[in-house]
Structure 1
Amino acid sequence: MINYETIVQPQEFTVEQIFNNNEYLIPIYQRNYAWSSVEIEQLLDDINDIDINKTKKYYLGNLIVNERGINCFEVIDGQQRLTTLFLLLCFLNNQSINEGSLTFEAREVSNRTLNLIKARKARNDKSGYSENLYSQEIIEGYSIISKYFDKKNRESISEFNKKLSAIILVRTQVPKNIDLNHYFEIMNTRGEQLELHEIMKAKLLGAIKSSDKERDRLDKIIASTIWDACSQMNKYVQMCLPIEKRKSIFGKSWNSFDIGDFDELRNLFGKENLNNETEFTLESKLRQPVYSLNASIKEDSIENERFESIVTFPNFLLLVNEAVSLADENKDNDAGLDDKRFLEIMKAHWSSKGAALNFIFSLLKYRYIFDQYIIKREYIGQYRLDGKWSLQQLTSYREKKHYYKPYYLLTFSSTSRKSDKSKYDSEINNRLCWLESCLRITYTSPKTMHWIARVMADVNKNPDGNHIIPMLEKYCCEKIEESKYQIRTGFNIDRIVFTYLDYILLRDEFKPFRDFQFQFRTSIEHFFPRHPINMKDADCINNIDSFGNLALITVSANSKFSNMIPKHKVEQYPEIINQSPKLIKMKRLLDENGGAWDSSSIDEHKVEMFKLLDDEIKDKIG
């Protein structure tokens, strides 16, 4: 067992600090410098695009090292980026670069080239440098950096220098006496670095320390177990814990969570079976097979690949952080869900042992809420290939005397009895599923999925979930009102206006469309085309970009519709019309007018739809 006290926690360094009074050795078993203009210019662009007024820290990546001596490190992973940063600082004549800051083991050609560059004697191209004496790849890398800045003035270069203070590298030391050959074998198999959320886990566990070493050890094991279970986003969290833990935490039927804090969680775990639990260290992470996070307990294997989460685990961690803080500020802040600022956003949670344990408890609590009240994609039966939106809770039933199996009910189902199928079809469940899928297809970037944090925070306050729908409807109405939809036209109309209007129509007018599924629709369609095949058809249209002539459909559907007139679209592609209740309303109006669609039709539809939206906003937010 590795002693936690001997492990150096990952450290953050700015680009300048990473070389300051530190020496890095690229070992002989590492490949030569190989970055091309694509990687180098992307790195420079990433730095140059930072707004230092908004972003205090920008995480560039990880550097994994093995300590060889005092302030002397062997680079295990991240040497391409580190070498590029070295070349960049040399070009900028940064004072943090010293003799020995970066060297290559047993590669005199590479070291000679670095010395040439450090002395600022390198030219901007590799012509004239003998391949036997100088590394062409390093010379080329330096040349790419030089040419990049040739296009900029002194002021731009000065601004770039300021931005370097916001660039963060996370340096992680492997445990002492680790088998480096085994490490490289694993790294080559995985083909990846530690991710930021894995660094967060190490920092959280590192913060769990006090004078009670035995208590700390047990708390770390519990925290690691909870973290690993919650990280498996494509399965219900109950299924990611051993059966005995499912019962103790979630009750006999696996569908309740009545724990108040980490202390209660510790008591439920107890000391039994904890001595052999896996502790998280860098070494254990690296030894872990690539597939292990998705591996299932044998009896649960049938559940594999049935569900798909709408967010990744790192994004979920940010959402938990936002849900915890929503009580303080009930306002969307996209920066709070920016994964490029992940460690900066989350750092308060490892400021103390108490903070770390509180976050672990919140992680489990909100993951349980997430699984019950946030939609997933479900791949089963006729939806096995494309999936469908699913809003279900997990419970268990006894198949044998001592054997329990998972069973999925609608979240708002009024019964947990498997045989009582008549009550499964819950109207409120359908309505919330529509509302959440409407939001999911509208706000596709993880940075904008604030509604998920709002749902989790709301259920935390009101466990029955009955406040979710009015809360989300109000949220949507606020977004629509902010968009100034009444004065916008064409492609300037926000997607939430289209998607929420479809939700209103489903809720109030299209109730027979119980099986309607919101699709990812990103293309604003002109029902009457902007460029009809016969331009004479356009003579009667003077408001073609009006909301009354627009609908939201899939990109592929937009290609099929092309420049057809409305009558032909309706006749040839009824399945596309059914993608949007608004489009169905437009079809009905078209039919009422005998297949004609003109400016008056557009105005009539616009007035009707805007009245629906106006009334909805007045009802939900006053």
Structure 2
Amino acid sequence: MVGVDSKLYDIHTIVENEYGFNIPIYQRLYVWTEQQVKTLFEDLFTAYSTKKELYYIGGIIVVKNPNGNFDLVDGQQRFTTLWLLSNELKNILSSFTKKGEELRLHFSIRDNVTYYLKNIENKNGNIDSNETDFADLIKISKARKIIESLITEYLKTDKDQELFAKYIYDNLKMVITEVPYQTDLNKLFETLNNRGEQLQQHEILKARLLSHIKDITEWHQYATLWSVCSKMNEYVERTIAKEIDSSKEIAAQYNNGFKLTDVLNLFRAKEKKQKSINLIEILKTPESYKDESVSFKNNIDNHPETNEDEFEPVRSILTFPQLLLHTLRVFLYDIEQDDIDIINEKELLKTFDNYFLKSDFIDKESVKLFFKQLFEVKCAFDKYIIKWVETSKEKEEHLLKFIDKRNQKKGGWTYYLRRLKKESFHGFELLQSILYHSQQNTTQYWLTPFLYWVKNENPNFNKAYKWLRILDNTLLSSETKGLPLIKRTWNSIPNYLENKPSVSIFQINYNVSALGTKFPHYWFYKIEFVLWYYKNSLGKEVEWKDYKMTARNSIEHIGPQNPRDQNDKVCVEMLDTMGNLVLVTRSINSEYSDRAYGVKKSIFTDKKNKGNLDSLKSDIIYSEENWNDNKAKRHHQFILDLLEIYFKENHIQ
């Protein structure tokens, strides 16, 4: 394309050149989800905290319009999120949010969006009023609130925010590609939408590892094994069944787990079968060679008692590159090598280069050993770790489905594998859900020691649940002596969780623990689980039985900080302590706002009666007739006492 120009830019250069950007009318609305916003923030924070010289946000395609600004043709979701983040951080990034007196980012036609951005840039007190009346604003508003909460959670001081903003200003890079104004945008969009996906890092890694396996049969077996493990949004036994075109064959091999040698033999048998097929046979019986895109449910024979909910769509809590990095840690520990520096899927190849591919111990056998570890980790992951399960239209829940091996005598024994839910798993699911929501989406370090243990021990679910409670307590609720989380997870493997959980980290002294909105979100999630764990003794067995954990990002003061009527200022001494705080969603926080305790209680009760229980801690608090410092202090002590009981019950004896 004549006249196309691509250059690497940082924010400093954009500000210096006084570039302005416009979202043209043909662009779709802002659609990024909470997970996408959180992932971008956490990736940036990880790069900042590890002092990476460069953070590459990706490519942006623009067209220079007649007024001298650039129309964003591709990359507007990332760019809009970057603008929102810069606006919340302020400091040096204030120069990026504005171009002179105007905003640097403008939305054509959508005046309500531009008006909203101007309001939040000016910190207008009414920025949230009626914003959800416009479809254009709903996602942008949610993204802004998520960013605001993440800044509060990760950047504890003004100085932290200043340094983070400076890092983004200097080190965030993007490739801006300018295409001529006369470019046929319809053809450009068609090209962008139809362009082939770039080869991903894990695909390059696969090729580099397999290059050490010269035997063609073995190469095929291990290549198929990699493919099976890479399907993160499906259970491993089903991906194997698709590979060999038989659910019965893999079911027959299952005995509380799979042996790698059996699975590799199935792949070998399938390869031989494929080699014997010729075109004449396919033309004679085309129905025997079905399209692989047909669903597992329709393509594979299943047990006669199979239920519809066994085929609910599932989504992994990890990406495949993340699973590879957890596997690499397990592999390195077993061969007595050093741990990796960080779990960062964007540096997958670099990490493998530094710790495996360029090592002096890599050869055919070490590669095969890594593949073995990968398969065992994936099997353990699918057996013991929650997945997002689509239980109804537009509704996902964290659930664990166990493998149930069934048989049927029909001219000989035939075996089937089914994925079933179990009510007794709810506590195990809830604890994992709490860990998932309270930890970084991009790392989830707790999974390494847990997967290592269950992979090696293959425990029943009660033992796995107990071990996870102990892991959580010792890993996240104990004195850390300044060790980073990745180091603590590495140490927890050989030391078998020697650290003793303690409420001292929870800061018992009221004066010390007045952290307010800067309180670590982990503790709120933790308290929710502990309350649920003791639901029977608290008389809440029926009410809390089916409680589910959702993502929450906003700390709410029960006794308001700045009530509308000063007579409603019921907490002073305990205002910013755990006794007066709960973690809720941003929308619930906005609804409660600065209202008096009695009004909040009424709103909470109404929601609870409709089946919307936003917090177990809130349920305890709003059972009180009124609220004040003394009641907040008693609630604070109640939580501490309950935690102490829980810690004594759940640690290595």
Query: 2:207 pairs with 182, 202, 217, which one?
Result: 202
Query: 2:506 pairs with 475, 482, 485, which one?
Result: 485
User: In the aligned structure 1, how far is the partner of 2:200 from the partner of 2:216?
Assistant: 24
- For residues 330 and 579 of structure 1, do their structure 2 counterparts lie closer, same or farther at Cα, with a shift above 3 Å needed? farther
Contact 2:438 2:525 in 1 (8 A): yes
Contact 2:238 2:247 in 1 (8 A): no
Contact 1:248 1:269 in 2 (8 A): no
What is the deviation of 1:571?
0.9
C-alpha deviations, 1:231-289, integer Å up to 9, x for none? 11111111112365766885427563242x5x565444334534748xxxxxxxxxxxx
What is the deviation of 1:208?
1.6
Residue 458 (structure 1) aligns with? 453
For 1:222-621, list aligned pairs within 5 A. Answer: 222-242=221-241, 244=244, 250-252=250-252, 254=254, 256-259=256-259, 265-274=263-272, 276=274, 296-297=295-296, 299-300=298-299, 306-325=313-332, 335-347=341-353, 348-350=355-357, 351-380=362-391, 383-395=392-404, 397=406, 407-410=418-421, 424-426=422-424, 429-447=425-443, 449-465=444-460, 466-478=462-474, 479-482=476-479, 484-486=505-507, 487-488=512-513, 489-509=515-535, 510-512=540-542, 513-538=544-569, 541-574=572-605, 575=607, 578-588=613-623, 590=624, 595-621=625-651
- For residues 223 and 570 of structure 1, do their structure 2 counterparts lie closer, same or farther at Cα, with a shift above 3 Å needed? same
Residue 124 (structure 1) aligns with? none
User: In the aligned structure 2, how far is the partner of 1:50 from the partner of 1:540?
Assistant: 40
3-state SS in 1 of match to 2:477: helix
User: In the aligned structure 2, how far is the partner of 1:241 from the partner of 1:223?
Assistant: 13
**RMSD in angstroms over aligned alpha carbons?**
4.3
3-state SS in 1 of match to 2:522: helix
- For residues 372 and 41 of structure 1, do their structure 2 counterparts lie closer, same or farther at Cα, with a shift above 3 Å needed? farther
User: In the aligned structure 2, how far is the partner of 1:525 from the partner of 1:324?
Assistant: 43
User: In the aligned structure 1, how far is the partner of 2:564 from the partner of 2:374?
Assistant: 56
Contact 1:218 1:274 in 2 (8 A): no
Code of the aligned partner of 2:466: P
User: In the aligned structure 1, how far is the partner of 2:423 from the partner of 2:569?
Assistant: 47
User: In the aligned structure 2, how far is the partner of 1:47 from the partner of 1:531?
Assistant: 34
What is the deviation of 1:436?
0.7
What is the deviation of 1:341?
2.5
3-state SS in 1 of match to 2:556: strand
What is the deviation of 1:511?
3.2
C-alpha deviations, 1:370-416, integer Å up to 9, x for none? 11110112113xx4421222111234656895987653224xxxxxx
Code of the aligned partner of 1:237: V
User: In the aligned structure 2, how far is the partner of 1:34 from the partner of 1:536?
Assistant: 61
What is the deviation of 1:306?
1.4
3-state SS in 1 of match to 2:601: helix
Code of the aligned partner of 1:497: W
3-state SS in 1 of match to 2:238: helix
Contact 2:555 2:583 in 1 (8 A): yes
User: In the aligned structure 1, how far is the partner of 2:617 from the partner of 2:449?
Assistant: 28
3-state SS in 1 of match to 2:541: coil
TM-score (norm 2): 0.57
What is the deviation of 1:566?
2.1
Number of aligned residues: 430
- For residues 47 and 542 of structure 1, do their structure 2 counterparts lie closer, same or farther at Cα, with a shift above 3 Å needed? closer
Residue 163 (structure 2) aligns with? none
For 1:2-13, list aligned pairs within 5 A. Answer: none
- For residues 296 and 326 of structure 1, do their structure 2 counterparts lie closer, same or farther at Cα, with a shift above 3 Å needed? farther
What is the deviation of 1:316?
1.4
- For residues 425 and 542 of structure 1, do their structure 2 counterparts lie closer, same or farther at Cα, with a shift above 3 Å needed? closer
User: In the aligned structure 2, how far is the partner of 1:330 from the partner of 1:536?
Assistant: 63
What is the deviation of 1:310?
1.1
Code of the aligned partner of 1:322: R
What is the deviation of 1:48?
14
Residue 112 (structure 1) aligns with? none
- For residues 496 and 525 of structure 1, do their structure 2 counterparts lie closer, same or farther at Cα, with a shift above 3 Å needed? same
User: In the aligned structure 1, how far is the partner of 2:196 from the partner of 2:247?
Assistant: 38
User: In the aligned structure 1, how far is the partner of 2:564 from the partner of 2:554?
Assistant: 20
Code of the aligned partner of 1:578: L
For 1:60-99, list aligned pairs within 5 A. Answer: none
Residue 134 (structure 1) aligns with? none
What is the deviation of 1:551?
0.7
3-state SS in 1 of match to 2:650: helix
Percentage identity across paired residues of the two chains: 24
- For residues 458 and 227 of structure 1, do their structure 2 counterparts lie closer, same or farther at Cα, with a shift above 3 Å needed? same
- For residues 186 and 480 of structure 1, do their structure 2 counterparts lie closer, same or farther at Cα, with a shift above 3 Å needed? same
User: In the aligned structure 2, how far is the partner of 1:293 from the partner of 1:526?
Assistant: 54
Contact 2:248 2:416 in 1 (8 A): no
Contact 1:245 1:269 in 2 (8 A): no
- For residues 567 and 53 of structure 1, do their structure 2 counterparts lie closer, same or farther at Cα, with a shift above 3 Å needed? closer
Code of the aligned partner of 1:219: E
- For residues 39 and 251 of structure 1, do their structure 2 counterparts lie closer, same or farther at Cα, with a shift above 3 Å needed? farther
Contact 2:558 2:581 in 1 (8 A): yes
Code of the aligned partner of 1:480: S
User: In the aligned structure 1, how far is the partner of 2:297 from the partner of 2:637?
Assistant: 58
For 1:47-196, list aligned pairs within 5 A. Answer: 189-196=194-201
Contact 1:253 1:396 in 2 (8 A): no
**Structure 2 stretches lacking a partner, 5+ long:** 17-42, 60-166, 174-189, 276-290, 301-307, 481-504
Residue 157 (structure 2) aligns with? none
Structure 1 stretch displaced more, 354-363 or 239-248:
239-248
User: In the aligned structure 2, how far is the partner of 1:61 from the partner of 1:551?
Assistant: 37
